[in-house]
Amino acid sequence: MDYQTTVTAQEPIVITIGNFDGIHRGHQRLLHELRALAAKLGCKPVLLTFEPHTLAVVRPQVPLRCLTSLEEKLALARRYGGVEDSIVVQFTPQVAAMSARQFLDELRAAFGLRGLVVGENFSLGHNREGDVAFLQRYGAEHGLVVRALPLEEIRGVRVSSTEIRMLVSGGRIAEAAELLGHPLLLSGVVVHGDHRGRLLGFPTANIIPEPYRLLPANGIYAARVAVEEAGMSDVFSSPHVYKSAVNVGIRPNFPSRRPLVEAYLLDVDLDLYGKRILVEFIARLRDEQRFDSIEALKAQMAADVEQVRQIL
């Protein structure tokens, strides 16, 4: 299998394996346990994930919308899990057809694998044969420490990427954020739009999401927007964060053929074209709607901005 990694060959490591879409509270608990086990064994904690998402290969007929890009996923693992290193496996039909034993044998041949941390419902390999019982037998054979953690729940709701996607699709971003353990986010490079926002008095930074990306339900949101500057390692570490009113959707008064994300940054006038920004959605204000006149639209936009100020 092909992979990219920050780990050197045969460096002693402990890993956790999964898609980790969103890096939610359950994932974060795995990462914290991973760090604890790695410290105990004198190893480096490493997140092993897949690109693309495994379901895109295993079930290509089922539309999949992801909460995070690979770059965002790894950045969130650093920020909320304290795990700096990764192995990113290129997920192909050939990798999907591997048995759990084949997959782990290849990892052991390439890396100094000393342990695994997984959730109790974890499974790996063709036909999901590599469940926790298999991992424990495999670990006993090869001297690997295997830890299986109970699934995370919040007020009786199981924390899962599937549950969070459902909330996001409905625009319920505050509930989604509770399960995520951080705000829903979206990063991208600012592109030129039609400049109508500037003519209306509300210039926006526009990003075009990838086709696979799950966006919150069309509407207006209060958000924080971080701006990447030259010399920064990534936008996640940017100290330049601004209050923002964000429109997600097709702009009924000036219809777009595809969903857009347009962020109006309050109290600043910046040239953001070509820069990467990070949008953190904080609260949903209202649905997208069509107005009878441009003046009515501008009045509502001004009201939205004032509501953003109150929220943030």
Q: Quote the pLDDT of residue 9.
A: 87
* pTM, 2 dp: 0.94
Asked if residue 245 lies in contact with residue 222, where contact means CB atoms within 8 angstroms, the answer is: yes
Q: Quote the pLDDT of residue 195.
A: 66
Q: Quote the pLDDT of residue 88.
A: 98
Q: Residue 50: which of 111, 2, 84, 12 has the closest Cα? A: 2
**Count of other CB atoms within 10 angstroms of residue 83:** 25
Kindly report, residue by residue over 84-109, the tens digit of the pLDDT.
999 999 999 999 999 999 999 999 99
**Count of other CB atoms within 10 angstroms of residue 263:** 24
Cα 278 to Cα 274: distance, rounded to the nearest angstrom:
13
Kindly report, residue by residue over 255-304, the tens digit of the pLDDT.
677 788 999 999 999 999 999 999 999 999 999 988 888 899 999 999 99
Please list the alpha-helical segments (H only) found in the chain.
Answer: 25-41, 54-58, 70-81, 93-96, 100-110, 132-142, 161-169, 173-180, 196-200, 294-311
Name the residue with higher pLDDT: 254 or 275: 275
Say if residue 34 is exposed, middle or buried (CB neighbours under 10 Å; 0-12, 13-18, 19+): buried
Kindly report, residue by residue over 9-56, the tens digit of the pLDDT.
889 999 999 999 999 999 999 999 999 999 999 999 999 999 999 999
